[in-house]
Structure 1
């Protein structure tokens, strides 16, 4: 090898080492920065947040909603009977209804279309857009117009860290039941009802699946906000002496952590004393300084581990205003508008008949008594063999500091009278499913828990959670199967004679299983098929 070639190679090697060293130096001071929610969830002319729902008969209609930026003034959909040659589709164009929506971080147009006069039990394909900017083509299949076997997926609360920790639960459920007829969400889809970024995370988890498998949802308390309320910083507390006092919140800051969000807050009492708290996303006090005693009489140890919103402190907003479902609900979902007893219950109280099953959504957040006549009428005029009811707050709660006595007294007699087959709820961030248990030694439970499962009625009640926020179980002996600190999803299969229920952990491991068997002139027969017991 000549001296010139060696010299040339030496120069090239030196140059490369110099470039590498410069790159290393230039990267040493680099730090990752959080991508702003305003940018991460900004709408564009390309449709996103596509979701199928129903506002009418699933055998002959299908509704779809989607979002764009405000430059898209007119939305439309293409619809065709699905075939095996996309270029040969015979497409019909349907114009959308468009609504301007202002969120906390952006403005967007929401578009909705209901496809009508469809053929039952038929596979269709569709896309949405503005005539230039389109989605891909999705498939959906209309329901049969007569009873036929089908499956659906049921989720309890997603709510917290939805993108981080709930997405995989949804996707595992989809892997288990890719041909599910729809997904059913029992409330608290998100945590903060008016935060558009959280709704964006909820849509991102299912992503394209929401565009091909319809959604049924009932609102939870975290889909509710307050209107005409007083300032949020004006609070009531209870003292150790049992006196209600007025305090003001002077600072509030959420801090995300690997274990959930921690809320740091400071308060000033009626005599000018101040105190600081840290509260986890379960509402429990994890830090409070010693100055709290001068305000309330409670020592730090009296409050640590207790709920900020219940005994003994009972934090409350002074003027709570009127509850109203989040403004996000109706633009992004299209549910039936039926003869509900109050305008504010539109698209939260409704029923849908699907292949021999009546699914009923009640709103457990407000106007519970007003819903009773409507509920009774919907059950009286029910031609279906099976009935499933969903609402957020459970009739029977496994948490000691939680009990929905008013709801139970109002709605359970009707559920009993019409022998509703299955009631699906959330709210308690645990798993509890009723069945035949020995109630002789059942203690320290509210009245009525002894009849949580009555074989002469046959109704099974389920509370479940699909997100990572968890509460403890303190009165679970009324239930046949319980779990805490476990994210789950449920797959329910129904035919003419049987309802088969399976609950799975987030990893896909079977956790609970039973079958309800229809019997002419008798209550359902509950057949247990539990896996090995592992109460937590």
Structure 2
């Protein structure tokens, strides 16, 4: 069944939209990879339920495609593997892009399919298309194991600006550095203007087939909002719906359990207090050995920005401490800072033992300065900074292996800039951190090449 979705947009945004549309005139101004066609594009793989047995895939076509399907088969060495393929009908919805920025393309169609009853720990190949002549290539991914096993994943801070030109090298270097990563986590501000379809086009082209091969965990940042959430967020990412949460938070707050690691995605843009009970429930629920919480706005802002009501900030932070969260991964402040907090004693005072690793990072070219003295101001909360950088694009690789979690931060050139190892006694919950910081100078505006930000 197809439906046409027409989204209301705020008056200010509408004026800007009409101006942009008038400037474009018609879609002759658009490049071929920005335009939808009968061939599938913007293919994106996501978690949707148990990662050992399920995945979801979303893709786009023009309005000429009336129906869509996906096919999936166990990947074999021989080329005839597709003879065992199973066909899955896709859901289709029509999106009116006349309400988007920088496009006059009109209606396009987004399609989504959910693969179910997959075998754990198995390599699969899938493709998407119209079920006849218009197909994508066959794309491979591996399902998770049911038991805790070693794996790695990639974490990106804000891509946001100049995405195709300057972020593409970061995601591609990440793939060269960790080609077997199980998934990629994008911690918000994937683009700059929430409803700019041309910017989404850049983001999808920059990642190319990696978006379809690496399962993605997208997080909403403030730039995924233009008064309301981007009109393209839900159509282009098929994500879990947590029915206990307000509808505004659906497909922006969700949890993934992957081989003994619980990844909790929060939305720091809206209804922050409404997520407290959900966060605590996920942290209390048994079944994981390591915990990762990710959201966009940093708890310990390097710029000193007031991202939250202070009560909400303290509630989130207290739950991270109470439930001994291992990693908190964030973006927003366009700089690199890795810090940590200790165990909080029963009287509320910081102890001496390591508890939680906090990271703020940036993968795109837009860079901010760290406010002088700001990081030191968090000392009363037990926070200490281990490594920081400015004017540098990063990606991070986190490897989980039994009682050890390895954290590494790389620059866009693949140079190791920061590293640490957490060792954890899963029986007692006790942890220690081993710093593995390379003997390289801290990167600053003074010792790096200045980049013009006029176009950001």
Shared fold by TM > 0.5? Answer: yes
Residue 189 of structure 1 aligns with which residue? Answer: 190
Residue 503 of structure 1 aligns with which residue? Answer: 409
Secondary structure of the 1:466 match is coil
Contact persistence 1:476–1:482 (CA under 8 A):
no
Residue 259 of structure 2 aligns with which residue? Answer: 355
CA deviations 1:303-328 (Å, max 9, x no partner) are xxxxxxxxxxxxxxxxxxxxx32121
Residue 394 of structure 2 aligns with which residue? Answer: 488
Deviation at 1:435, TM superposition (A): 3.6
Pairing of 1:57-206 with structure 2 (within 5 A): 57-89=50-82, 90-103=84-97, 104=100, 105=103, 106=105, 107-131=107-131, 132-206=133-207
Query: Does residue 397 of structure 1 match 2:301?
Result: yes
After alignment, is 209-218 or 520-529 more displaced?
A: 520-529
CA deviations 1:121-178 (Å, max 9, x no partner) are 0011111100220011111110001100000000000000000100000000000011
Deviation at 1:456, TM superposition (A): 4.0
Query: Does residue 331 of structure 1 match 2:228?
Result: no
Out of 325, 335, 344, the residue aligned to residue 420 of structure 1 is: 325
Write the distance in 2 (CA, Å) between the matches of 1:403 and 1:432.
17
Residue 320 of structure 1 aligns with which residue? Answer: none
Query: Does residue 534 of structure 1 match 2:438?
Result: no
Secondary structure of the 2:76 match is coil
Residue 360 of structure 2 aligns with which residue? Answer: 463
Write the distance in 2 (CA, Å) between the matches of 1:161 and 1:509.
22
* Cα RMSD (Å): 1.9
CA deviations 1:477-503 (Å, max 9, x no partner) are 441110010100000000110110000
1:456 to 1:81, Cα distance in 2 relative to 1, 3 A: same
Deviation at 1:36, TM superposition (A): 2.0
Residue 523 of structure 1 aligns with which residue? Answer: 430
Write the distance in 1 (CA, Å) between the matches of 2:429 and 2:72.
45
Secondary structure of the 1:57 match is coil
Contact persistence 1:154–1:183 (CA under 8 A):
yes
1:88 to 1:501, Cα distance in 2 relative to 1, 3 A: closer
Larger radius of gyration: 1
CA deviations 1:445-469 (Å, max 9, x no partner) are xxx9x96xx6446111000000000
Out of 334, 337, 341, the residue aligned to residue 429 of structure 1 is: 334
1:57 to 1:522, Cα distance in 2 relative to 1, 3 A: closer
Write the distance in 1 (CA, Å) between the matches of 2:28 and 2:361.
33
CA deviations 1:428-457 (Å, max 9, x no partner) are 0000111479xxxxxxxxxx9x96xx6446
Write the distance in 1 (CA, Å) between the matches of 2:112 and 2:352.
44
Deviation at 1:382, TM superposition (A): 3.1
Contact persistence 2:191–2:199 (CA under 8 A):
yes
Contact persistence 1:433–1:462 (CA under 8 A):
yes
TM-score if structure 1 supplies the norm length? 0.71
Instruction: Figure out how many residues of one structure are paired with residues of the other and give that number.
Output: 393
CA deviations 1:356-394 (Å, max 9, x no partner) are 000000100010111111111111113100110000000
Contact persistence 1:432–1:462 (CA under 8 A):
yes
Residue 284 of structure 1 aligns with which residue? Answer: none
Residue 311 of structure 1 aligns with which residue? Answer: none
Q: Which structure 1 segments of 5+ residues have no match?
A: 1-33, 227-323, 438-447
Deviation at 1:408, TM superposition (A): 2.2
Contact persistence 1:500–1:513 (CA under 8 A):
yes
1:407 to 1:205, Cα distance in 2 relative to 1, 3 A: farther
Residue 261 of structure 1 aligns with which residue? Answer: none
Write the distance in 1 (CA, Å) between the matches of 2:304 and 2:242.
36
Write the distance in 2 (CA, Å) between the matches of 1:182 and 1:357.
12
Contact persistence 2:341–2:357 (CA under 8 A):
no
Contact persistence 1:340–1:349 (CA under 8 A):
no
CA deviations 1:28-86 (Å, max 9, x no partner) are xxxxxx97237551100000001100111110011111000010010001111111122
1:197 to 1:525, Cα distance in 2 relative to 1, 3 A: same
Query: Does residue 56 of structure 1 match 2:49?
Result: yes
